[in-house]
Amino acid sequence: MAKMAAAMVESGEDAFRKLFKFYKRRNPPPDFSDVIDFSRSLPSDKILPAALDPSAVSDEEAARVGLQPVRDWRAFGLQGYPGFLFISNPFLLGTHPFWITQCLKTYPQKPNVCNLDMHMSPSETQDIWGQSAHGLSTPAGKREPRTLLERLRWVTLGYHYNWDTKTYSADHHTAFPADLHSLSSRVTAACGFPGFNAEAGILNYYRSDSSLGIHVDESELDHSRPLLSFSFGQSSIFLLGGTRRQDPPTAMYMHSGDMMLMSGQSRLLYHAVPRILPAPEGHTASHMDPCSSVSPQQDGSVVESVSEEDWKVCTRYLQSSRVNVTVRQVLGPGQSFPETPSPLQRTDAGQTAGYHEEHGEEESGKRKRRGSCDSADAET
């Protein structure tokens, strides 16, 4: 347990919530000295070097989805969290723009589902990018305050997660994006999970004052398959706890391009994002790729070049935003959905807003949006 967590927490209390509020606090700002930064860390008694399987993915296969050769990835485990893996930005320089553009321009498109669909008609949410691009390429102050892209909070892919029932179902499914499927298969194969089948995805879109409530992802029917996470844009603090709320979480930074894998004993742990932080020097989208339209083009490449115009919109959006993509396999081999979805245990319903929190609601005492960590331990 980190020094600060140990000092702050008394036995039996909701240690996770306490640390969540600590890192979310603005005034005075918290002490970040206990937050692990894998981009700078060397193996220690807490940070363990992780063994990957470079033979599982050839260098060509890795490059086709925009990844460095697996032998070059900087991958770590954490003492006390078997099955947890952190990979510090394994993307090839110049490939971020493709994945970022997919997250901002392509994946929010129909037939995928997003938060805006909850209160807007399909024709209004048909072209989120087209309706936002102009606004975002115009300097702030001279434009509408909030484009549709800036109002996007979540998008679901594949088996569309139902925030109310907290289930997936056979009859709410659209094709999972083939490019993200390829990326996920390669990352999971390198991490020792050959045959992973990406079936559901949730994209979370964070503004600088957003946070994501404490939750466990347990709605997938096969928990032997890992949960995979990719992040782009601004940095965040990610809290990884235990199986109980009394277990104090470990705090770590997630920067643009970082990946995480939760499997085995770490698959069903509480986690949350209390805070978004400005990306430090060397981790910003514009730094990542000064020549955005250059991507490794080779036979069978999934990664395509991005137009300067699109990249300009992406970088403007990411100046104050972060995107996270979690990818899940829902069903085990040969498994199908039960006739009646089973009721879920560690939560209550009413998550149509996803599980984002808006800054200041807790402090101001205003009615919180449904889905915050304090009203429910959301889960997917």
| Residues found near ligand SIN in the complex (CB under 6 A) | 202, 204, 212, 229, 231, 236, 238, 254, 271, 273, 324, 326
Closer to ligand SIN by CB, 231 or 250: give it.
231
Instruction: Tell the smallest beta-carbon distance from residue 173 to ligand SIN (Å).
Output: 20
- How far is 232 from 318, CA to CA, in rounded Å? 8
Nearer to ligand SIN, 36 or 133 (CB): 36
Residue with smaller CB distance to ligand SIN, 86 or 196: 86
Q: Min. distance of Cβ 212 from ligand SIN in angstroms?
A: 5
> How far apart are the C-alpha atoms of 72 and 348, rounded to whole Å?
43
Minimum distance, C-beta of residue 204 to ligand SIN, in the bound complex (Å)? 5
Residue 187 phi/psi, 5-degree rounding, is -65, -45
User: What is the number of the residue whose Cβ is closest to ligand SIN?
Assistant: 324
| Min CB(64)–ligand SIN separation in Å | 25
Residues 262, 195, 326, 220, CA torsion sign: negative
**Complex with ligand SIN: residue 132 or 204, whichever CB lies closer:** 204
Nearer to ligand SIN (CB atom), residue 52 or residue 269: 269
Q: Which of 21, 312 has the CB closer to ligand SIN?
A: 21
| Residue for token pair 């709605």 | 219
Query: In angstroms, rounded to a whole number, what is the distance separating the alpha carbons of residues 256 and 269?
Result: 23
CB of 276 to ligand SIN, least distance (A): 9
Is-contact 302 185, C-beta < 8 A?
A: no
Q: Where are the beta strands (DSSP E) in the chain?
A: 47-49, 74-78, 84-88, 113-114, 154-158, 200-207, 210-216, 227-233, 235-240, 250-254, 259-262, 271-277, 321-328, 356-358, 378-379
Q: Nearest approach, Cβ of 255 to ligand SIN (angstroms)?
A: 11
CA-to-CA distance for 335 and 170, rounded, in angstroms?
12
Q: Which two tokens stand for residue 169?
A: 């179902």
- Cα–Cα distance, 153 to 355 (Å, whole number): 9
CA distances from 54 to 5, 59, 72, 197 (A): 36, 9, 9, 20
Nearest distance, CB of residue 200 and ligand SIN, angstroms? 12
Q: Residue 212 or residue 279: which is nearer to ligand SIN going by CB?
A: 212
Q: Please give the order of strands across the beta sheet that includes 47-49.
A: 47-49, 74-78, 84-88, 259-262, 227-233, 321-328, 200-207, 154-158, 113-114
What share of residues in the chain are helix, strand, coil (percent, to 5)? 25, 20, 55
Taking a C-beta distance cutoff of 8 angstroms, is the pair 303, 260 a contact?
no
Nearer to ligand SIN, 212 or 285 (CB): 212
What is the nearest approach in angstroms of ligand SIN to the Cβ of residue 215?
7
